[in-house]
Structure 1
Amino acid sequence: MAQQVRGVIAPGKDQPVRVETIVVPDPGPGEAVVQVQACGVCHTDLHYKQGGINDEFPFLLGHEAAGVVESVGEGVTDVVPGDFVILNWRAVCGQCRACLRGRPQYCFDTHNAKQKMTLTDGTELSPALGIGAFAEKTLVAAGQCTKVDPAVSPAVAGLLGCGVMAGIGAAINTGNVGRGDSVAVIGCGGVGDAAIAGARLAGAAKIIAVDIDDRKLEKALSIGATHSVNSKAADPVAAIRELTGGFGADVVIEAVGRPETYKQAFYARDLAGTVVLVGVPTPEMTLELPLLDVFGRGGALKSSWYGDCLPSRDFPMLVDLHQQGRIDLGAFVTETIGIGDVEKAFARMHEGDVLRSVVVL
């Protein structure tokens, strides 16, 4: 029987979000209903509100979430009611050409729940990244549920569902940072700081944080950066080169998503080094680089999809490492808020003084 719960919707482009009654259907084949315990406020949710993703309003916002499986539909065997799970927005299909080649982290046919959640008047909702977790309960594909140790705090665990995983994965999966490497991270928001944490976890010897905000640089140093560069006060390419013996960093992670900062990353890497783009550009952005420089510098230019993560592999591993004290995921939680405080959290995001506000339900 369908349930009615509270959820946060974005009714139209740039309109304030509001709490509404949401109708959550019983799970169908391959689906699960999850009682949400915590959900981070991510820039992607703000992009949905602003119409920057698409115009399929109204949106049910929220996607960095953890909670408990309440019920499952026919054919679901990987999770059962009572399991504590992190939600992910790339349920692997197992049948596409990437999956069949043993590369499920690149699955080209990820999927979400087939049924729609609605408002009480029947208006269909578009769940953010196929999740919609600023709600007391949500309907997802069962493959979007990754079981982890229930001893971890939901407010911490949920952040692995998007931004923190994207950053850590950009370092350890896409960038393949190794012991003794030099790493530069351009852009020290939540994803950039997570890339710093990932580089530290991988054993990087030198981790250079680059941003225009001294507050963010201080936070980056507390998370694991060894050096910081304010790119308002200094040329970041020259500074990174100076800090790496004149050569440039082995891996440069661009966590802003702008052509200007991508060029900085490109020229701040060592010969045969790696550039990782994890910042999300907007559709109108273009990039121009001398092709001879692309050829002559060698190395790799990579884009990081969701940190190239495989949730079933990476989420439990990172939770275990957090519980062992080897990575402090709690450092990314700036504040916990209620379901009615999301609009205020978006305002704080603009001010730049939070890594993550987390809605606790």
Structure 2
Amino acid sequence: MQQVRGVVAKAKGEPVSIETINIPDPGPGEAVVAISACGVCHTDLHYREGGINDEFPFLLGHEAAGVVESVGEGVDSVAPGDFVVLNWRAVCGTCRACTRGEPWYCFSTFNATRKMTLEDGTELSPALGIGAFADKTLVHAGQCTKVDPSARPAAVGLLGCGVMAGLGAAINTGNVGRGKSVAVIGCGGVGAAAVAGARLAGAGTIIAVDLDPKKLEWATNLGATHTVDAGAGDVVAAIQALTGGNGADVVIDAVGRPETWKQAFYARDLAGTVVLVGVPTPDMVIPDIPLIDVFGRGGALKSSWYGDCLPSRDFPMLVDLYQQGRLDLDAFVSEEIALEDVEAAFTKMHDGDVLRSVVVLS
């Protein structure tokens, strides 16, 4: 066992604190990872606010890259010294999704079974099974994906959650291809990544929709060909006007509210695709849409889980594209901060001042 610093949420709605964390030696199938960098994600704030569950205290942080320090019995996929991006979908290989050849939907993903604790022995709940706002963390070895060790940790670590969710919503779930038209509603971190994904996939028209001029500027820098101020008029009509009156081939809702999902539904072309990647709250319901419209417009209504990614396939490929200058992951890093700055970063994120604050540890 060893002791490190970590950012802990002890109670609902209370400011986070830096605590001493006990990290056990890795058990079978597990790995201890020294964290190099970890992004500040909305999901971490949801944990702090009790929006995920009430299993306090939480060890926050999950969008991370680092170096494997040690591994447990039976681990041969990674070794000490490997530079890895952490993921929260360590596929099992045996569930019904995996055995039918769709491991990106794995219904039985792995986490470490040994528990990290506070100094007094209180067990911690690691955010998304990772807990990477810490000098080191314990994860399942399947949560570690080896990538190019020369890549910038602050940038590639963001593939661990939000950036991958957005890129994958366009490329994997939306199946955006060359010449397609795409609209992205909501251009925070995930939506901006969906814009970047659409550009990477060769989309011809990429429409960014948001209320905030700053976010529209971010989206433009990442590849949007047109912008729509959502507060200036009818969003559906604006998207249709930019697509020959037809609507976009793929519309991605990166907000996750009934009103934005309804906009996405009607802003797509006939036989087009709607992708929901913004996470709704439990009280939200599908808006009142006539069933004949669902039938008559055809196409597909999809939800995107983690960008429907397969980390072992997607992370190395995307890091290589980043290294080649074809995917600007650096654009998502608004600032580099210390562990002590996480609470302030939550405020900046909530206020829309940053795409990502990234905690840099080494």
Q: TM-score, normalised by structure 2?
A: 0.99
**Structure 2, gaps ≥5 residues long:** none
1:69-218, aligned counterparts within 5 Å?
Answer: 69-218=68-217
Looking at structure 2, the residues matched to 139 and 163 of structure 1 have their Cα atoms a distance apart, in angstroms, of 21
Residue 316 of structure 2 aligns with an amino acid whose one-letter code is: P
Counterpart position of 2:65: 66
SS in 2 for 1:296: helix
Counterpart position of 2:14: 15
Residue 281 of structure 2 aligns with an amino acid whose one-letter code is: T
1:1-361, aligned counterparts within 5 Å?
Answer: 2-288=1-287, 289-361=289-361
SS in 1 for 2:207: strand
Looking at structure 1, the residues matched to 102 and 260 of structure 2 have their Cα atoms a distance apart, in angstroms, of 30
Residue 149 (structure 1) shift: 0.3
Residue 211 of structure 1 aligns with an amino acid whose one-letter code is: D
Residue 227 of structure 1 aligns with an amino acid whose one-letter code is: H
Deviates more, 1:138-147 or 1:99-108: 99-108
Per-residue CA shift, 1:31-56, capped at 9, x if unaligned? 00000000000000000000000000
Residue 290 (structure 1) shift: 1.3
Per-residue CA shift, 1:109-140, capped at 9, x if unaligned? 00100011000101000000000000000000
Identity of aligned residues (%): 79
Residue 8 (structure 1) shift: 0.1
Residue 353 (structure 1) shift: 1.2
Residue 304 of structure 1 aligns with an amino acid whose one-letter code is: S
Residue 321 of structure 1 aligns with an amino acid whose one-letter code is: L
Looking at structure 2, the residues matched to 113 and 315 of structure 1 have their Cα atoms a distance apart, in angstroms, of 21
Residue 359 of structure 1 aligns with an amino acid whose one-letter code is: V
SS in 2 for 1:282: coil
Looking at structure 2, the residues matched to 95 and 138 of structure 1 have their Cα atoms a distance apart, in angstroms, of 26
Residue 296 of structure 1 aligns with an amino acid whose one-letter code is: G
Residue 351 (structure 1) shift: 1.4
SS in 2 for 1:318: helix
Q: TM-score, normalised by structure 1?
A: 0.99
Residue 358 (structure 1) shift: 0.1
SS in 2 for 1:90: coil
Equivalent residues, number? 360
Per-residue CA shift, 1:174-198, capped at 9, x if unaligned? 0000100000000000000000000
Aligned residues: CA RMSD: 0.5
Residue 219 (structure 1) shift: 1.1
SS in 1 for 2:341: helix
Per-residue CA shift, 1:276-329, capped at 9, x if unaligned? 000000011111321111011000000001000000000000000011111101
Looking at structure 1, the residues matched to 20 and 139 of structure 2 have their Cα atoms a distance apart, in angstroms, of 18
